[in-house]
Amino acid sequence: MGKRDNEAETVEKARIPLLRDQNAAEEEDGGIKSQIWMETKKLWRIVGPAIFTRVSTYLIFLITQAFAGHLGELELAAISIINNVILGFNLGLLLGMASALETLCGQAFGAKKYDMLGVYMQRSWIVLFLFSTLLLPMYIFASPVLKFLGQPDDIAELCGTIAVWAIPSHFSFAFYFPLSRFFQCQLKNKVIAISSAAGLVVHIFVCWLFVYGLKLGVIGTMATVNVSWWFIVLVLVTYATCGKCPLTWTGFSMEAFTGLWEFAKLSASSGIMLCLEYWYYRILIVMTGSLKDAKIAVDSLSICMSINGLEMMIPLAFFAGTGVRVANELGAGNGKGARFAMIISVAESLIIGIVFSVLIIFLHDQIGWIFTSSETVIKAVNNLSILLAFTILLNSVQPVLSGVAVGSGWQSFVAYINLGCYYCIGIPLGFVMGWFFNSGVKGMWAGMIFGGTAIQTFILIFIVMRCDWEKEAQIANVRVKKWSLSSSRN
C-alpha cells in the first residue's frame, strides 16, 4: 500500500502545473517575443480567473448599493458608508493580512513544498479570525464613531443600524481570503471563479427577494450580503477539504497552532501595507461628510469610488497574479524570471488602465445613471469624472507594484512608504486644498491623488528597478527552508 501511495503521489505531483518548469525549453530557444508570450500565458492563467472572481465578488457590494440607491438618497449614503468605509476598512485589513499567504504559499509552491500550503492556510484562518474579533467594536459603535467624524446624524444613525447586520459578512472574510490565496497559489483559479459566479447569482436572487418580495428595505439589502459571502466560503471549504487538493491539503493539523506569532507578524505587515492603500480613498468619503450638502457630496463621491472599485478589480487581479508569479520564480531561485514577470504585469495592467480612463472621459455624463435617478447627484458625478479617470490610470500601476512587494516579502518596508505618502502627504494636502482653498470634494480628491498615490507609485518604480533580483531569490530560498524547518520541529 505504501508503494502505491508513493506512486500515486508522484503521478499527482507530475500533474501540477509548475510555472517555473512549464515550457521552459520554448522560452530558452525563442526570442523576446516568445518570452513575452509565454510569460503572458502564465500570468493570465492567474489574472483571467482572478478578474472574473474579483468583479463577481465586488458586484455583490455594488448590486447591494444600487438596490439601496433606488430606495432613497439617505439609504444610498448609509449603505455607501458601510460598504466603502466600515466593511471597506476591515476588508482591506483582512485582505492584506491574507496576502502573507501569497509570499509563503507562492514561494513554497515554487520550492515544491506542497504540504505546507494547507498548514499556512489554517494558520491564516486562526490569525484572521482573532483579528476579526478585535475589529467588532467598529460595527457595534458605528453610529457614535461616524458622528464624531462629522457625519450628519441621520446618516450616522442609519449606518449604526445597518452595521450590526454586516458582522456575519465581516467574519466570512477571515475564511474566504486565505482560501482564495490557497487555491490561487496552486493555480486552481477556476474553483474560485466558479464559486464567485454562483455566489453572485445567489445574491441577485436574494436581493430581489428581500427588497422587493419581502420588502425588508435597507436592512434587507445588507442581510443579502451575508448569505452570498457565506455561500461562497462553504463551497470553497468543501472543495478544499474533500479530496480535491490531495498534496496541498492533508487534513486539519496541530501544526497550524505553531509558529503563530511569526505568522501573525508577517500577516500584520501585509495587512498594514495593503490596508493603508485600501483605506486611503475611503477616508475621503468620511472627509466629505462634513462638507456643505453632505448627502450629495457623499453620494456622488461614493458612486465614483464604486466605479473606481469595480475597475480596480483588474489591477488587483494583476496584484494577485504578480505576487504569485514573482513568488514562484523567487522560490524556484530564478531572480531574472521574477523581474521579467514584474515588467510584463506592469505593462499589461497599464494598457488596460489607459483604455478604461479614456472610456470614463467619453462616458462622463452617463456613469451616474446606474446608481441613482437624482439629477443633482448625476451632475455632481459628472463634475468628478476627470479625477476618476486620473485615479484609474494611476491605480493601474500601483497595485501591481504592491504585488511585487508581496511576492518578494517586502511588506514591512512598503508599509512605511504607504504611511508616509498617503497619510503624511496625501491626506493633509487633500484637506488643505478642500478646506483652505474652498475647492470642496474635487480639491480633496486631487490633493490625495497627486500628493499621495502619484508619489508612492514613483517611489515603488524606483525601488523595483534598482532591486537585485538574484539576491532576492537567495533570500526566498532561505525563507522557505526556515519556515519548513520550523514546522517540522514543532
Per-residue pLDDT band at 347 (split at 50, 70, 90): very high
Per-residue pLDDT band at 4 (split at 50, 70, 90): very low
**Residue 256 CB-half CA count within 13 A:** 18
- Provide long-range contacts, Cβ within 8 A and 24+ apart, for 236-240: 236/176, 236/179, 236/180, 236/183, 236/191, 236/192, 236/195, 237/175, 237/179, 239/191, 239/195, 240/118, 240/121, 240/179, 240/182, 240/183
Of residues 23 and 433, more confidence is placed in 433
pLDDT at 317 over 70: yes
Q: What is the mean pLDDT of residues 222-236?
A: 92
What are the DSSP calls for 327-393, one per residue?
HHHHHTT-HHHHHHHHHHHHHHHHHHHHHHHHHHHHTTTTGGGGT---HHHHHHHHHTHHHHHHHHH
| pLDDT for 68 | 78
Q: What is the mean pLDDT of residues 479-489?
A: 58
Per-residue pLDDT band at 1 (split at 50, 70, 90): very low
Of residues 168 and 62, more confidence is placed in 168
| pLDDT for 484 | 59
Burial 49-59 (b: 16+ CB within 10 A, else e): bbbbbbbbbbb
pLDDT at 215 over 60: yes
Please give the model's pTM, rounded to 2 decimal places: 0.72
Per-residue pLDDT band at 147 (split at 50, 70, 90): confident
Of 385, 166, 138, nearest in space to 286 by CA: 138
Of residues 334 and 345, more confidence is placed in 345
The proportion of the chain whose per-residue pLDDT surpasses 70, expressed as a percent, equals: 88
Q: What is the mean pLDDT of residues 9-26?
A: 45
Of residues 247 and 6, more confidence is placed in 247
Q: What is the mean pLDDT of residues 295-315?
A: 80
Q: Write the Ramachandran bin of 291: left for phi over 0, alpha for psi from -120 to 50, otherwise beta.
A: beta
Q: Where are the domains of the chain?
A: 19-489
pLDDT at 456 over 90: no
Least confident of 15-24, 200-209, 431-440: 15-24
| Unique residue bearing C-alpha cell 444613525 | 157
CA angle 457–459–462, rounded 5-degree value: 110
User: Quick count: other Cβ atoms within 10 Å of Cβ 147?
Assistant: 17
| pLDDT for 20 | 45
Per-residue pLDDT band at 415 (split at 50, 70, 90): confident
Of residues 398 and 96, more confidence is placed in 398
Give the containing element (helix H, strand E) for 272: helix 260-278
| pLDDT for 237 | 94
Q: What is the mean pLDDT of the chain?
A: 81
**Best mean pLDDT range from 140-149, 264-273, 280-289:** 140-149
Q: What is the largest CA-CA distance in the chain?
A: 77
pLDDT at 487 over 60: no
pLDDT at 83 over 50: yes
Distance between CA atoms of residues 322 and 406, nearest Å: 9
Backbone CA torsion sign across 123, 129, 134, 135 = positive
User: Quick count: other Cβ atoms within 10 Å of Cβ 22?
Assistant: 15
| pLDDT for 349 | 92
Give 52-61 pLDDT, tens digit per residue: 888 888 888 8
- At 86, which amino acid appears? I
pLDDT at 244 over 50: yes
pLDDT at 18 over 50: no
- Contact by Cβ (8 Å): 317, 400: no
